[in-house]
Amino acid sequence: MAGLWVRTASLVAAGRRGRWPQQQQLILSAALRTLKHVPHYSRKHLMVSRNLGSVGYDPNEKTFDKILVANRGEIACRVIKTCKKMGIKTVAIHSDVDATSVHVKMADEAVCVGPAPTTKSYLNMDAIMEAIKKTRAQAVHPGYGFLSENKEFARCLDAEEAVRIAREIGYPVMIKASAGGGGKGMRIAWDDEETRDGFRLSSQEAASSFGDDRLLIEKFIDNPRHIEIQVLGDKHGNALWLNERECSIQRRNQKVVEEAPSIFLDAETRRAMGEQAVALAKAVKYSSAGTVEFLVDSKKNFYFLEMNTRLQVEHPVTECITGLDLVQEMIRVAKGYPLRHKQADISINGWAVECRVYAEDPYKSFGLPSIGRLSQYQEPLHLPGVRIDSGIQPGSDISIYYDPMISKLITYGSDRTEALKRMEDALDNYVIRGVTHNIALLREVIINSRFVKGDISTKFLSDVYPDGFKGHMLTKSEKNQLLAIASSLFVAFQLRAQHFQEHSRVPVIKPDIANWELSIKLHDKVHTVVASNSGSTFSCLSREAGGSMNIQFLGTVYKMHILTKLAAELNKFMLEKVAEDTSSVLYSPMPGVVVAVSVKPGDMVAEGQEICVIEAMKMQNSMTAGKTGTVKSVHCRAGDTVGEGDLLVELE
């Protein structure tokens, strides 16, 4: 397998170069940000990332005049940022719906390459070629995903052949899109049946995300760590390894939390892995930034997984601890300059952690996509040691067409403890409203005792949360703190309601704060409270006059119901509202497009049988029956766009 991948990597680089016009060169890579159109936080951000940034830029070292960035979102912003630093003009490409997005505003020029679906825009080779011609860009930077993925190689399979190959390799196997990465089009199969299902779903996903439905099947090593080595090569036969990244915290084979260095590796293993990675890069004459992925078992045996011939999403943690700007180095070596560093120059300074902040509901399978408009958005860049790579701004839409990532939040500190503490603060101070986000999950992971000890594997989430993620479990003192916060907010609102700036509204009764007796309902338990506040960071997300309050505390959003003691006493006379019986109805758990409906009214379905498939954010989600019964009515058709909570199918 290693040999195949090596060949692939080298050929991709060569093959692509042949296909682009002569004066243009392809740089394989990825991510930083600034905003042309400057709200105050972006200025702050510039400052911060300069601290975190790379070795200086040498203005005499001429590279390119103009680069086209063939991507969108945070990675496009990241690349444009380094280009600006190097005095290179940038061209953004965008789809119709992205016309006002941040990467378009940041770039010097922008070209629309088609409508929203990626196959018609960001993967539309003809339109992109046209854009290159029109703007006379000398080089193209593909970022990651989309065009950066190597898609020329891999065999075409059908489902039965997939089963045969899987049997040969021995279960469990991993089925993945050959063009893929980042968990899309990736599934694990433990038997023939799952292989067939996985094959079907993965190839559809791969086709819609990458424009290439070809798949790979490989051995799946159970319970490993995922550790990867960043390499950097030039066209003069030099290559460096830039230490490792620990990427074991994953869900659905997509990374969630990454860090550098890995708490697991000792210097010896690190060097062994690094040297192998460099040997590989040299062997294929690789001349850009790349990543060699390994699986590492509990005895520190490492197994080569694959080489990614591009920059990875999680490259910022490496930049933080090495002080290099990888995009800058990629542009330099693409122009033909030799590397500026020797292996001995590369050290590990401090510790960096990256959390991928997604528009996802972490309470559903560790993250089902959510869409919406960021009605409020503020990045915690005022905190020390925080870097954020994002391609969005207040008011941006998270649409069903693209990846639901909001940003990459990176914190950096002198050691792991400091980096993690800063991450905690940064997550608490991150303001994201309008879409569901996964901050609760991220915060739980980084404070989890197993994670803090470094006892992690790729199965971390399912091991720690076997029944799914349920939010932060409050300790007694935390609970008291939360109750106090809710109470003080409630009292503050009540008192302010009497502060009218006119004479006609002098309150008859003078409020006596000491007499605020409150009653708070949290998790169905009622607490009697007299308030005080010990001052930890929290956000009041919503408040209704009826007493409902949502407070984000320690990452998790708590729904509370707060009333005066009197109102609470009277509230016990209120009747329970009858909840709708949902066992026989199937609602869409997320917004998306119905790809297939496998039942019609009158059909008998067994519990767990597939009823329909919904595609959202390029992930295909199979909806299954909650119980055995007859289908009463079907409310969706293939091709329909459905919203979260829309009725799909009713059973008798």
Partner 1 sequence: AAALRVAAAGARLSVLASGLRAAVRSLCSQLTSVDERIENKRRTALLGGGQRRIDAQHKRGKLTARERISLLLDPGSFVESDMFVEHRCADFGMAADKNKDFTVFGGSLSGAHAQKICKIMDQAVTVGAPVIGLNDSGGARIQEGVESLAGYADIFLRNVTASGVIPQISLIMGPCAGGAVYSPALTDFTFMVKDTSYLFITGPDVVKSVTNEDVTQEELGGAKTHTTMSGVAHRAFENDVDALCNLRDFFDYLPLSSQDPAPVRECHDPSDRLVPELDTVVPLESTKAYDMVDIIHSVVDEREFFEIMPTYAKNIVVGFARMNGRTVGIVGNQPKVASGCLDINSSVKGARFVRFCDAFNIPLITFVDVPGFLPGTAQEYGGIIRHGAKLLYAFAEATVPKVTVITRKAYGGAYDVMSSKHLCGDTNYAWPTAEIAVMGAKGAVEIIFKGHENVEAAQAEYIEKFANPFPAAVRGFVDDIIQPSSTRARICCDLDVLASKKVQRPWRKHANIPL
Active-site residues, by number, are 306
Does residue number 547 form part of the binding site for partner 1 (CB under 8 A)?
A: yes
Q: How far is the CB of 496 from partner 1 (least distance, A)?
A: 6
Rounded Cα distance between 175 and 199, Å, is 7
CB 433 within 8 A of CB 377: yes
C-beta of 373 vs 479, nearer to partner 1: 373
Rounded Cα distance between 426 and 353, Å, is 12
C-beta of 510 vs 525, nearer to partner 1: 510
Rounded Cα distance between 371 and 392, Å, is 14
Paired tokens of 319: 């930049």
Residues 250 to 309 in contact with partner 1, rule: CB under 8 A: none
User: Edge-to-edge, what's the strand order for the sheet holding 610-616?
Assistant: 619-624, 610-616, 592-597, 641-642
Does residue number 342 form part of the binding site for partner 1 (CB under 8 A)?
A: no
Does residue number 533 form part of the binding site for partner 1 (CB under 8 A)?
A: no
Does residue number 537 form part of the binding site for partner 1 (CB under 8 A)?
A: no
Does residue number 499 form part of the binding site for partner 1 (CB under 8 A)?
A: yes
Binding mask 75-114 for partner 1 (x = CB under 8 A): ---------------------x--xx--------------
Paired tokens of 109: 């020029």
Residues 114 to 173 in contact with partner 1, rule: CB under 8 A: none
C-beta of 267 vs 508, nearer to partner 1: 508
Of positions 299, 476, 525, 577, contacts partner 1 by CB under 8 A: 577
C-beta of 302 vs 377, nearer to partner 1: 377
3-state SS track over 458-497: CCHHHHHCCCCCCCCCCCHHHHHHHHHHHHHHHHHHHHHC
Of positions 342, 453, 505, 525, contacts partner 1 by CB under 8 A: 505
276: how many CB neighbours lie within 10 A of its CB?
16
Rounded Cα distance between 228 and 274, Å, is 9
Q: Which residue has the tokens 């969630």?
A: 256
Does residue number 500 form part of the binding site for partner 1 (CB under 8 A)?
A: yes
Going from the C-alpha of 112 to that of each of 68, 74, 92, 121, 531, the distances in angstroms are 12, 18, 9, 8, 56
C-beta of 195 vs 396, nearer to partner 1: 396
Does residue number 349 form part of the binding site for partner 1 (CB under 8 A)?
A: no
CB 584 within 8 A of CB 629: yes
Does residue number 524 form part of the binding site for partner 1 (CB under 8 A)?
A: no
Amino acid of residue 651: L
Of positions 545, 579, 580, 581, contacts partner 1 by CB under 8 A: 545
Rounded Cα distance between 364 and 591, Å, is 13
Q: What is the dihedral of CA 644, 403, 217, 271, to 10 degrees?
A: -130
Does residue number 14 form part of the binding site for partner 1 (CB under 8 A)?
A: no
The DSSP letter of residue 168 is H
C-beta of 170 vs 573, nearer to partner 1: 573
Q: How far is the CB of 397 from partner 1 (least distance, A)?
A: 8
HSE on the CB side for 378, CA within 13 Å? 9
Q: How far is the CB of 566 from partner 1 (least distance, A)?
A: 6
C-beta of 140 vs 406, nearer to partner 1: 406
Measured in degrees and rounded to the nearest 5, phi and psi for residue 387 equal -125, 135
Can you list the alpha helix ranges (DSSP code H) found in 170-314?
A: 192-210, 267-283
Does residue number 641 form part of the binding site for partner 1 (CB under 8 A)?
A: no
Rounded Cα distance between 34 and 391, Å, is 9
Of positions 491, 560, 563, 619, contacts partner 1 by CB under 8 A: 563
Q: Which residue has the tokens 């390994």?
A: 294
Rounded Cα distance between 327 and 24, Å, is 17
HSE on the CB side for 339, CA within 13 Å? 25
Contact region for partner 1 (CB under 8 A) — 328-336, 452-460, 506-514, 636-644? 506-514
> How many residues bind partner 1, per CB under 8 A?
39
266: how many CB neighbours lie within 10 A of its CB?
10
Rounded Cα distance between 212 and 205, Å, is 9
Residues 371 to 430 in contact with partner 1, rule: CB under 8 A: 373-377, 393-396
Q: How far is the CB of 401 from partner 1 (least distance, A)?
A: 14
Q: How far is the CB of 120 from partner 1 (least distance, A)?
A: 16
Residues 29 to 68 in contact with partner 1, rule: CB under 8 A: 39
C-beta of 393 vs 487, nearer to partner 1: 393
Does residue number 514 form part of the binding site for partner 1 (CB under 8 A)?
A: no
C-beta of 207 vs 541, nearer to partner 1: 541
C-beta of 101 vs 312, nearer to partner 1: 101
Residues 211 to 240 in contact with partner 1, rule: CB under 8 A: none
Q: How far is the CB of 202 from partner 1 (least distance, A)?
A: 33
Does residue number 570 form part of the binding site for partner 1 (CB under 8 A)?
A: yes
Does residue number 513 form part of the binding site for partner 1 (CB under 8 A)?
A: no
Going from the C-alpha of 60 to that of each of 193, 252, 375, the distances in angstroms are 61, 46, 44
Rounded Cα distance between 576 and 569, Å, is 15
Of positions 473, 566, 604, 638, contacts partner 1 by CB under 8 A: 566
Measured in degrees and rounded to the nearest 5, phi and psi for residue 639 equal 100, -20
C-beta of 9 vs 359, nearer to partner 1: 359
136: how many CB neighbours lie within 10 A of its CB?
13
3-state SS track over 434-463: CCCCCHHHHHHHHHCHHHHHCCCCCCHHHH
Of positions 344, 496, 525, 582, contacts partner 1 by CB under 8 A: 496
The DSSP letter of residue 191 is S
Q: How far is the CB of 573 from partner 1 (least distance, A)?
A: 4
Binding site for partner 1 (CB under 8 A): 39, 96, 99-100, 373-377, 393-396, 496-502, 504-509, 544-547, 563, 566-567, 570-571, 573-575, 577
